[in-house]
Amino acid sequence: MPVPLMDIRGQYADLLDEVKRSVCEVIDSGRFILGPNMRALEEEIAAATGAGHAVAVGNGTDALVLSLEALGIGAGDEVITTAYTFYATAEAIARVGAAPVFADIDPVTFNLDPRAVEAAVTERTRAIVAVHLYGGPADMPGLSEVAGRHGLALIEDAAQAFGAAVNGRGAGSFGDLATFSFFPTKNFPAFGDAGMVVSGSADLAERVRLLRFHGSREKRRFELVGTNSRMDEIQAAVLRRFLPEVAGWNAGRRAAADRYRALGLGDLVELPSEAPGARHVYHLYVVRAAARDELARALSEAGIGCRAYYDVPLHLQPVFAHLGYRRGDLPETERASDEGLALPMFPTLDEAAQTEVVAAVRAAALAAA
Ligand SMILES: Cc1ncc(COP(=O)(O)O)c(C=O)c1O
């Protein structure tokens, strides 16, 4: 039985008629931009994340760029982040004219190691961008402490982690600003591009609000050089219908992670783990295997969906060659890039399918032995 890497449609199959009705209501209303669904979603997500303020934008990349701009970060500034993430995290830093500085990760969580961040601070450092990779929260207490000690801003890239938490506190509520992506494969998906910035600061949220709409509060007066990055009403209507479902979807993902463990997958590969107090939402389920590429090949041949994400870390990407990093500079980042493999994970993944996955991993391990 083939098992796909992800099945986003399965989780909302029963809701589709309702969602289509909401989309039709938007079409009938004739209000497509800066409308009532977007504003209601902002309030709902401000409350759901515990951040207090939320600004809906066009996508998760713009959410990062606008957050950095709202902090006034630009040319001459350094921003410390991870090289084991999707390109957009560091691209946004470069996009505003600042220099990304890559710190190594904690091998257990795949996320920024606060000690490595601290060692990377210089007099030009202005901010830290932490990523909650694969849905597992970064060490926000540790990173907040480093940021506080050095007077740095802290941004959470929570694109993959809606609903994750640390010590009961939601991902997105720790940073000066936090960003979400609702790209259709995310654990909280839209039907197109969409993103959100959340913040505990009314002032920073207001700056993002201006920047997403040409630096304007209304249409004829322009206060800042901004951009056009608004979440449209159709995406907002879809996301409003899905928001109450995300906790249940995340619970389904967590149950699937527990089942992989119970089925003995941990005897064959290194499983993802949760730091004490952390609630992982398993946007992706990434195991480690020393012979990762062979395992990936064997699983693909057996019809099991899998994928090596971020197998070339950002410090070794051509776009950042001018920063002068070499292989060996970030050993844990490079090891994660070499060993990480995403296995099937989605809310409706069931025991029968997971038994197939574990059997295929076992067969691959035996063949390699
Ligand atoms: C960690 C991370 N940051 C940023 C982004 C960018 O989000 P978007 O694709 O909505 O621009 C993504 C997802 O694509 C992501 O996974």
Scanning the structure block, which residue is given the tokens 């257990």?
A: 108
pLDDT of residue 219: 81
Domains in the chain with CATH codes: 8-103+110-244 (3.40.640.10), 245-368 (3.90.1150.10)
Is 189 close to ligand 1, i.e. is its CB under 6 Å away?
Answer: no
**CA dihedral of residues 289, 347, 260, 135 (deg, nearest 10):** 50
pLDDT band at 8; cut points 50, 70, 90: confident
Is 180 close to ligand 1, i.e. is its CB under 6 Å away?
Answer: no
pLDDT surpasses 90 at 142: yes
DSSP single-letter state for residue 231: -
**Three-class SS of 153-212:** EEEEECCCCCCCEECCEECCCCCCEEEEECCCCCCCCCCCCCEEEEECCHHHHHHHHHHC
Which of 57, 59, 61, 231 to probe ligand 1 with, by most ligand atoms within 8 A of CB? 61
Distance between Cα 60 and ligand 1 center (Å): 5
Beta strand 153-157 with 177-181 is: parallel
Distance between Cα 176 and ligand 1 center (Å): 19
pLDDT band at 218; cut points 50, 70, 90: confident
Q: How far apart are CA 8 and CA 253, in angstroms?
A: 12
Closest ligand 1 atom to residue 85 Cα is: 1
pLDDT (average), residues 221-250: 97
pLDDT surpasses 90 at 95: yes
**Residues 282 and 135 sit within 8 Å (Cβ to Cβ):** yes
**Residues 279 and 234 sit within 8 Å (Cβ to Cβ):** no
The mean pLDDT value of the chain amounts to: 97
For the chain, what percent of residues have pLDDT higher than 70? 100
Is 88 close to ligand 1, i.e. is its CB under 6 Å away?
Answer: yes
Residue 196 forms beta bridges with which residues?
56, 180
Is 337 close to ligand 1, i.e. is its CB under 6 Å away?
Answer: no
Distance between Cα 181 and ligand 1 center (Å): 6
Which of 8, 68, 86, 182 to probe ligand 1 with, by most ligand atoms within 8 A of CB? 86
Scanning the structure block, which residue is given the tokens 């959340």?
A: 198
Q: How far apart are CA 254 and CA 2, in angstroms?
A: 22
Is 183 close to ligand 1, i.e. is its CB under 6 Å away?
Answer: yes
pLDDT surpasses 90 at 363: yes
DSSP string, 41-72: HHHHHHHHHT-SEEEEES-HHHHHHHHHHHTT
Q: How far apart are CA 309 and CA 320, in angstroms?
A: 18
pLDDT (average), residues 23-31: 98
Is 144 close to ligand 1, i.e. is its CB under 6 Å away?
Answer: no
Cβ contacts of 39-47, under 8 Å, gap ≥ 24:
40/236, 40/240, 41/231, 41/236, 41/239, 41/240, 41/243, 42/196, 44/240, 44/243, 45/180, 45/196, 45/198, 45/243, 46/198
Lowest-pLDDT range of 7-11, 227-231, 301-305: 7-11
